[in-house]
Amino acid sequence: MAKIVNSWNEWSRLRRVIVGRADGTMIQAPEPAIVRDFPDDGFPAGAYGPMPQDMVDAANEQMDNFAAILESHGVVVDRPEAMDWSKAIETPDWTMDSQFGVMPPRDVLLTVGSEILEATMSQRARWFEYLAYRPLLQEYFREDPDFRWESAPKPRLTDASYHGGPEFWHEFESLDEEEAIERFTMNRRWNLTEEEPLFDAADVGRFGKDLFVYHSSVTNAAGIDWLTRHFPDHRVHVARFRESHPVHLDATFVPLRPGLALSNRKRVPLEEDMVTLFEINDWEIVPCAEPALEEPPPLCYCSVWLSMNTLLLDEKTIFVEEQEKAQQQQLYDLGFEVIPVPFWAVGPFGGGLHCATADVYRDGDMEDYFPKQIPGY
């Protein structure tokens, strides 16, 4: 019987990975967690429906191409099931007129060692997304006797989990970025309440024995508490950054190799202990390069900082989006072999090269890259 699942960090040699799919992705219906609003591109607030088919085809072409590039480097690539995300869903507490999609497996699946943990997620439209990965997880479970298949408690996602739903979004939209930072980020209070543990897997940065979890608009303090208790052999640290609407760590702060991390040049760290922890353990933190785009493309809810959303093949080799020339140059200057990958069409489906993948197997074991710790952090 084979060992299939093993990954402790973001940089050891990648052997097996899941790459998502753009098929059937929806501009999701409004819900308390989020209201999509693309008035210039046919989906003003309240409107929902399938992403345009030409965009789906372009994204799938780039994802298939990336899968082929990974395979040409000896990586086994698994793909989730295509599902009908236009289907309305219902729980005992609520109904939802549409779902979302399955492009970004990194949001849903957190691989830590021989465990894959299905995240709670915090949007109703993403409640059933884990089902698209179940055939793969069942296969890993059958074939790998060491695979720990875990699922975080499914959240209720009643109105009690949100500070006001659409009213929150109305208030948020009325503020400029600095006002939103002062009102929400500096008070650690976005739309999620602390009613129940909520987290997205993409808010977790894996640095061996140390996990850094972004207290973001999709991960609450209870979610971080749950992760801390769930991983007793790890040290779980809270990460926060100065941005108005934080979503996911992987366009904000990412490791590149032991001793080197890339930090979003605009989103300043707010946890002083986090910066100190890196310093006292001789890690260098480098501000990322300027992104190629000034604005996200049409129907894209992600930021231009997908420029730093890269995937490491190993400690020396990194996949970077093809048009992000400045980011490529910076990584080349830092000693990496850079492999450009066309991925611009995937952004509107929920992210970049890191978002579109979930680790299944990387070489190596859990190691301690932060032997000096700060008590209480």
Positions marked catalytic: 200, 248, 355
In angstroms, give the least distance from the CB of 215 to ligand ABU: 15
Q: In this complex, which beta carbon is closest to ligand ABU, that of residue 4 or of residue 22? A: 22
Q: Min. distance of Cβ 110 from ligand ABU in angstroms? A: 14
Closest separation in Å from C-beta 253 to ligand ABU: 11
| Shortest Å distance, C-beta 145 to ligand ABU | 33
Distance CA 183, CA 241 (A): 14
Minimum distance between the CB of residue 307 and ligand ABU, rounded to whole angstroms? 10
Smallest gap from residue 138 Cβ to ligand ABU (A): 26
**Of 206, 259, 89, 79, residue with least CA distance to 157:** 89
Rounded Cα gap, residues 43 and 155, in angstroms: 28
Nearer to ligand ABU, 147 or 343 (CB): 343
DSSP character at residue 263: E
Nearer to ligand ABU, 209 or 266 (CB): 266
Place of tokens 């020339």: 325
Dihedrals phi, psi of 69, to nearest 5 degrees:
-65, -45
Q: Smaller CB distance to ligand ABU: residue 305 or 370?
A: 305
Those residues with Cβ within 8 angstroms of residue 344's Cβ, 6 or more apart along the chain or in another chain: 62, 297, 321, 322, 323
Measured from the CB atom, the residue of 4 and 269 that comes closer to ligand ABU is: 269
* Whole-number Cα distances in Å, 292 to 255, 288, 297, 324: 21, 12, 12, 5
Residues that bind ligand ABU (CB under 6 A): 202, 247-248, 250-251, 302-303, 305, 351, 355
Closest CB to ligand ABU among 308 and 360? Answer: 308
